[in-house]
Amino acid sequence: MTNKRTNLPIEELDQLLEPGYTPVETGFYRLPNGDMHVRVLIRMPRCKGKMVDWWFGYVRDTETYKMWHPAHRFLEWDEKRSPGHYIGATHTIEEQVGTEIFKVRIRFYDPKEVFDVSRFKAAGWGAAVCGDAIDEKGIPHGYLIHTVRDTDYGCEMRNRFWLLHNPDDKVGLGVMTHNLEEMGNLSDFLPDLYARENPSRKSEKLFVRQKQ
C-alpha cells in the first residue's frame, strides 16, 4: 500500500516511527521498478530535532546555504517562503554531488501529509522534513524525508531518498555520500549557531560548547 500524496510505501514510512532501526540504515539499492532508494543515518551530538527544523527555516540564500557544505553553489527560494517558515515553499539549489553538478527544485510540504503526527511524541521525534524534487513543470523526480529522533546525547537523523526514473548507481552513491557529509557538517556548527541566533531561548536545555 502506498501513500496517496507521494506514492511512497506506507509500511516503510510507519516503520520509521517504531523504536530501534531497520536492517539497512545507511546504503543504497535499486527497487524492482528501477528507482533508486537511498538511506542515511547521521548521529548529531549536541543537536535536537527542533534545531534541525529551525535550520531549514533559517537557510535563506546562497551565503547561508554554503555554510552547510563547500559543494553547495546556489540557493533561491520562491515567494512562498517567509523568514523561519519553509513548509509550502520551493527552493532551487545547485550543488556538486560526486563529479556531477545538480540543479534541483525541492518543494517542501507538511509532514502530516505522509505521517501520523500524533505518534511523533511517543517516537521521540523532534522534527520531520519532507520534500519533492521536481522539474520546472512540477513533475516529481524524487522524494526526500528527513526524520529526527531526539536522544540523550543530542539527536539522530534518519534520511530516506527515492530517486525516480532509473538513475545510475553512481547517483545513489553520490546522494548518500553527500548527505553524510552535509549533515555531518551541520551537526558540527548547528548547536552554537542556534544558540547565537536565539538568545531569548537561553533558558532551554541546549548543548552549547563551553569555551576552554
- φ/ψ (deg, to 5) at 81: -80, 145
Give all domains of the chain, ordered by start, each with its CATH number.
Answer: 10-18+25-198 (3.30.530.20)
Q: How confident is the model at residue 83 (pLDDT cuts 50, 70, 90)?
A: very high
The three-state secondary structure class of 154 is: strand
Distance between CA 110 and CA 160 in Å, rounded? 16
Residue 100 confidence (pLDDT):
80
Residue 211 confidence (pLDDT):
45
Mean pLDDT of the chain: 91
How much is the pTM? 0.91
Residue 208 confidence (pLDDT):
47
The DSSP bridge pattern shows strands 72-77 and 36-45 to be unpaired
Distance between CA 47 and CA 101 in Å, rounded? 30
The DSSP bridge pattern shows strands 125-134 and 140-150 to be antiparallel
User: For the residues 64-89, what does the mean pLDDT come to?
Assistant: 96
Q: pLDDT tens-digit profile of 130-167?
A: 999 998 888 889 999 999 999 999 999 999 999 999 99
Residue 205 confidence (pLDDT):
56
